């Protein structure tokens, strides 16, 4: 599953640097999660790091992006092979 930031977000900036997949960025109004990059922290941590640090508990599972553990591992492996957006030098679609 990818996670989702709701409009309860207070733009505290705490979650963005904690994401091991660079899936979190500041959107037009609040922070947002790129479902193509969120593995629910599978491959990196036992628990979603953004959920751990969010002070207002506004990061639920995204019902539009329900995925099995297996597909999350596949996504993790794809991301590892592709490198970070910075390494690729562009926001290339995966």
Residues at the site binding ligand SF4, with contacts judged by CB under 6 A: 3, 5, 9-15, 18-19, 21, 23-24, 31, 33, 38-41, 48-50, 53-54, 56, 58-59
Min dist CB 22 to ligand SF4, Å, is 8
CA angle in degrees (0–180, nearest 5) for 1-71-35 = 40
Min dist CB 23 to ligand SF4, Å, is 4
Longest Cα–Cα distance in the chain: 34
Cα dihedral angle (17, 18, 19, 24), rounded to 10 degrees?
Answer: -50
Q: Which is nearer to ligand SF4, 8 or 88 (CB)?
A: 8
């Amino acid at each position: 599953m990818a996670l989702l930031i709701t409009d309860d977000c207070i733009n505290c900036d705490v979650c963005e640097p904690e994401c091991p997949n660079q899936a979190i960025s500041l959107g037009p109004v609040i922070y947002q999660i790129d479902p193509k990059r969120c593995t629910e922290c599978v491959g990196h941590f036992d628990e979603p790091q953004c959920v751990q640090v969010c002070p207002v508990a506004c990061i639920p599972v995204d019902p539009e992006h329900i995925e099995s553990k297996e597909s999350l591992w596949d996504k993790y492996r794809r991301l590892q092979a592709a490198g970070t957006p910075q390494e690729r030098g562009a926001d290339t679609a995966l």
